[in-house]
Amino acid sequence: MAEKVILSLKAEQNRYDILKYYFDESGGHKIPLQIFEQLNNALETISVFPYSGKIINKKGYHVFVTKPYNIIYRINDDTIEILHIWDTRQNPKNLPL
């Protein structure tokens, strides 16, 4: 059974920034739409298989990789909370966990 996925405000901002960057760089909708679909497919996979992501710290955060992005999330009682959508080309020291 699929779990309900909720994006935190930070994850929403991450997704917006990613899509805006590619829209501005490409000057069109094609690439941002492909990335949007890629991220949505990853979120659907997390919804159906919440334990498929590797546990990355003592807080029980999981990471799901959909290159070049890491989706960082935690599993709650009745929801899956997406905390960050992280572009792995950034300095990992800047990831606030």
Q: What is the 3-state secondary structure (H, E, C) of the chain?
A: CCCEEEECHHHHHHHHHHHHHHHHHHCCCHHHHHHHHHHHHHHHHHHHCHHHCEECCCCCCEEEEECCEEEEEEECCCEEEEEEEEECCCCHHHCCC
Which pLDDT value is given to residue 61?
96
- Whole-structure pTM value: 0.92
pLDDT surpassing 80 at residue 54: yes
Which pLDDT value is given to residue 58?
85
Show the domains of the chain with their CATH numbers: 4-94 (3.30.2310.20)
